[in-house]
Amino acid sequence: MKAVFEFTKSGDMIYISHLDLGRLFLRVLRMSGLRPAYSQGFNPHPKMSFALPLSLGLHSVCEILEFETEGHSVSLDKINERLPDGVRVTSWREKPGNITKPLASFVTAASYEYMCEGITEAPYLLKSFFEKESVTVQKTDKKTGTQKPKDIREEMLDYRIIKDMRGRMLAEATLSAMPGRTLNPLIFFGAFCESSCIDNESLSPVITRTAIFGSDGKPLKEVLQ
């Protein structure tokens, strides 16, 4: 059976790495009776993947994990009682048979909520930031380790002010998550601060992923319905 978990990540668990999160769910699946299926070959690995890996230090209310299991259906309570505080499965279902590709292949964008003290005139600053024709950041080449300039403007898709508050930013930004064009929400925030002449080092933003979108622009979880 192919199954899909929707889960949240918060508290101290935002500091667990993507690989460790995978190991955590692998253990929980086994303990819950949902025995993961493994690939064939010399180095078999569990057939499980996340729709869109989450950067370290970020909260989320919309994470998606898909996996194949040789086990049977279990209750959410049985799964959650084995998970540490900070990770909670909100729903799980069987993956529709007509969806043969990994859910990651449908992902095009994701939205992030930014809550941060110490930023005044956030609506004006964000409007000015998104009106720029070019936004250049320095990105590290994974192969060479050298810094290279990159224009991220096309990867900045949209924004909205959730609430206009004096001295605080509470806004949501939608960023590209296309293969080869995925914009890290931390890089976006750093570029915003630099463009707005804000000392990023003095801020402690709380960033929460609020939605993952599919190719039709709708939340990815709607693909499963």
Q: What is the pLDDT of residues 145-203, one digit of tens each?
A: 788 899 999 999 999 999 998 899 999 999 999 988 999 999 999 999 999 999 988 89
On whether the 107-213 domain is CATH 3.30.70, my answer is yes
Q: Please provide residue 100's backbone torsions phi and psi, each rounded to the nearest 5 degrees.
A: -95, -25
Q: What is the predicted pLDDT for the residue at 194?
A: 94
> Is this model's pTM higher than 0.85 or not?
yes
Looking at domain 2-103, which CATH architecture does it have? 2-Layer Sandwich (3.30)
Instruction: Give the tens place of pLDDT for each residue, 15-30.
Output: 999 999 999 999 998 8
- For the chain, the domains span 2-103, 107-213
Mean pLDDT to the nearest integer, 57-75: 88
Cα–Cα nearest to 19, from 46, 45, 53? 53
pLDDT tier, 71 (very low <50, low <70, confident <90, very high otherwise)? low
Evaluate if residue 84 carries a pLDDT over 90: yes
